Structure 1
Amino acid sequence: MRFPIYLHKTDSDSYSGFAPDIDGCFFAGKTVDDTILDAAEAIHVHLETLADSNMPIPETKGIESYLQAEACQGGIWAFVDIDVSKYDGKAVKLNITLPQHLLTRIDRFVESHKEFSSRSGFLAELARRELAKA
């Protein structure tokens, strides 16, 4: 999942920022690259804490949702890509039945969209998106 992050330069010429989709997720660094690396670590810590407390992983709203926010003016935006599947708990193997044509279409889609590492990853991501809407 791609989490948007907002960065701004501080008075000491370093950077700090936050992930607007994750309450209380702040990070900092000497350079933009360092700050993005710290953002990834901060997001992982927050998601681990949520998972340990059986809380849902927040869905991202995208940068557009925050462009007019007062706290998001004069800085820069970036994304941190986080594999949220590790916060869903232990993988469980199951047997499902799908029509052959649908399965073929899913496999072709996954093959051309590398962000989904597998058929299972694709189905899990779609399930996460739908459940987040509920």
Structure 2
Amino acid sequence: MRYIAFIHKEPDSAYGVSFPDVPGCISAGDTLEEAAKNAVEALSGHARLLEADGETLPQPRGYDAILADPSLEEERLGAMLTVVPLVRDRGATTRINVSLDQGLLEAIDAAARLRGQTRSAFIASAVKHELVE
């Protein structure tokens, strides 16, 4: 699932992030890149808190629906729009079966060793990076 986010930047301030479909979920960052990365964590954390309270995360609307919503006219002013993936941290690992080219697997293992990670940890961090960036 992906959510539209508004990013605002006022002079002498950090980049602020808000989600029109997830009221109360906000984030910020000193750079645009940091704000976008922090938005992924904020959305995940907000979803976790809602679920802990027995609520559900609202369904995301598409870009056209966000642009057409008259109630968001003021919030859209001066905003950059971006798409933020919902990456849930469930706190539990699941074993899966994945097929990879032998050469790619060797490269993964070498890179994991250099970072002091297991193969699984390396693959998980690489996938998370790809989803977020």
Give TM-score, length-normalised by structure 2. 0.59
Q: Percent identity of the aligned residues? A: 26
Task: Please name the residue that 2:76 is paired with.
Answer: 72
Structure 1 residues 83, 41: closer, same or farther in 2, change over 3 A? closer
Tell me if structure 1 keeps the 8 A contact 2:44–2:87: no
Q: Distance in 1 between matches of 2:19 and 2:40?
A: 10
1:20 aligned partner, one-letter code: P
Q: Distance in 1 between matches of 2:49 and 2:13?
A: 31
1:44 aligned partner, one-letter code: S
CA displacement, residues 25-79 of structure 1 (integer Å, 9 cap, x when unaligned): 1111111110011111111111001111111121001222222521111121111
Give unpaired runs (5+ residues) of structure 1: 92-134
Q: Distance in 2 between matches of 1:49 and 1:13?
A: 27
Count of aligned pairs? 89
Tell me if structure 1 keeps the 8 A contact 2:2–2:83: yes
Matched, 1:81 2:73: no
Task: Please name the residue that 2:63 is paired with.
Answer: 63
TM-superposed CA distance for 1:14, in Å, is 2.7
1:21 aligned partner, one-letter code: D
Structure 1 residues 58, 83: closer, same or farther in 2, change over 3 A? same
Q: Distance in 2 between matches of 1:14 and 1:54?
A: 33
1:80 aligned partner, one-letter code: V
Q: Distance in 2 between matches of 1:83 and 1:42?
A: 10
Task: Please name the residue that 2:38 is paired with.
Answer: 38
Give TM-score, length-normalised by structure 1. 0.58
Q: Distance in 2 between matches of 1:14 and 1:32?
A: 9
Query: Which ranges of 4 or more aligned residues in structure 1 deviate by more than 3 Å?
Result: 83-86
Structure 1 residues 25, 49: closer, same or farther in 2, change over 3 A? same
- The RMSD of aligned alpha carbons is 2.4
